[in-house]
Amino acid sequence: MFANKKHFTSAIVGALIALSIIALVLSLVRIEDVTLPPTVKYGMVFDAGSSHTSLFVYEWDSDKENDTGVVSQNLSCDVQGQGISSYANDPPKAGDSLRECLDKAMKVVPAGKQRDVPAYLGATAGMRLLREQNSSAADQVLAEVTKTMQEYPMAFKGAQILTGEEEGAYGWITINYLLESFTKYSPKAHAWVRPEAANIFGALDLGGASTQISFMPENSVMNWNETSKFTLYGYSYNIYTHSYLCYGQNEMLKRLAKELIVESSSSTQVDHPCYPKDYNETISLSSFRTSPCTNQSDPRLILGDRNVTLEGRGNASGCLAAIKKLFNFSACGQRQDCTFDSVYQPPVRGQFIAFSAFYYNFKFLNLTKGQSLATVRETIEHFCARSWENLSSSYPKENPERLPKYCANANYILTLLLDAYKFNETSWNNIFFQMKAGSADVGWTLGYMLNLTNMIPAEPPARVKGHIPSLWAAAITFIILTLALGLAALLLLLWV
């Protein structure tokens, strides 16, 4: 009996020692090797631009939503038709235009999660222009898209018109989030680290009605009206960002046509140096009244309903000269911290991602592979010299309305980047023309969603998410210590 009691006591003591060792280890070591099953979350944003609308659906693991580089793009859907601002005279059609993409989104988001999906619609320069021209029409369009989106089972958060500076800043956030420029986990250091400040990218966005530039300047920005301030992962960023309304490529083309007509003394046949030779386009002067960018009173031009034919001349140098006249460079005088129209800008710094129409135009011209500025200029000049017959036969699948405009668009990009933003032969090599970073499209929509859902914290992440947190480790340690104390009590009872 005594021997059995002795063996039983030894076994209990051994178990107690083992449990104590386990508890001690758990109290000293973070349990990070046991992963928890992830819960996938979704979010969606409509980019309601001036020329078209797109829907982006994003997904991420909920246990990693405050980390970086974890959001992936699940769906990209282009809405049929023009931008929602084009429905100013028939607002219900603006809402109806979204249904096809909304239906597709409902198919990729599980039914059980749809009601928790934050959904946003952000409208940009097209709606900014419409609001300037007819604020009640802009409100009606937003009301109709809101009505449509509220019909779907999701957490609709509102439709609003972004300022140009918001559009630029959110694009900057998107790029640097996807490229892990804000914070990155270092397996070697077992901690989140901040990459070098030199790895922060600038953003160049060219849309249909506006263009934006956003970057982190060398020194503090002197003009605080052009600054956006962010605190991301424990670090503060002062970003220079400016948006130029009426300087998107579609509005530029309208302004260019109007200027050429004015200079020709309102003739019914007007030479267009940017259009291909033998290409003609007939426009009505009344079309200039549809946009505030071309509707300003001009004593040199009496707007009517008569038609004017623009006749292509395929003159690259003449095209470049005509486009430069759209900018008021003389307003800056000799100031180096100025672009045009007296707009302040510090010197460009670092590397830039040029996306949207910057990318699409250069992609068509096969100029997105890091070619030198000399090669870019030569390619554009050669393209502009090609006749309409040559172009249309060489690119039979290209939209015939878009094809004759590449010469003007390319020369406009050169003027904007070199003469306005003041990139040069050297800094040109710091511009990367691309539309994707990681798994997502580059643009303002992801940065917009990240900001509104508070997925980028002001403080840096303290540990790797997706593992058993310290609270769990403490709970397990408590349970084991409780068992150990219980066994100790049982041992004392048996001993007595």
**CA-CA distance, 7 to 458, in Å (whole number)?**
59
Catalytic choice (167, 226, 251, 259): 167
Q: In whole angstroms, how far apart are CA 139 and each of 49, 73, 93, 134?
A: 16, 30, 14, 9
Both tokens of 122, joined, read: 């952000």
100 flagged as catalytic: no
Question: Which string of DSSP letters, residue by residue, matches 378-414?
Answer: HHHHHHHTS-HHHHHHH-TTS-TTTGGGHHHHHHHHH
Pinpoint the alpha helices (H) of 264-405: 316-324, 357-364, 373-384, 388-394
Q: Which amino acid is at 400?
A: P
CA 320, 334, 168 angle in degrees (round to 5)?
A: 65
**CA-CA distance, 428 to 388, in Å (whole number)?**
30
Nearest in space to 446 (alpha carbons), one of 460, 432, 436 = 436
Region for residue 190 given its phi and psi (left: phi exceeds 0; alpha: psi -120 to 50; beta: otherwise)? left
Residues facing residue 232 across a β-bridge: 235
- Which residues participate in catalysis according to the annotation? 167
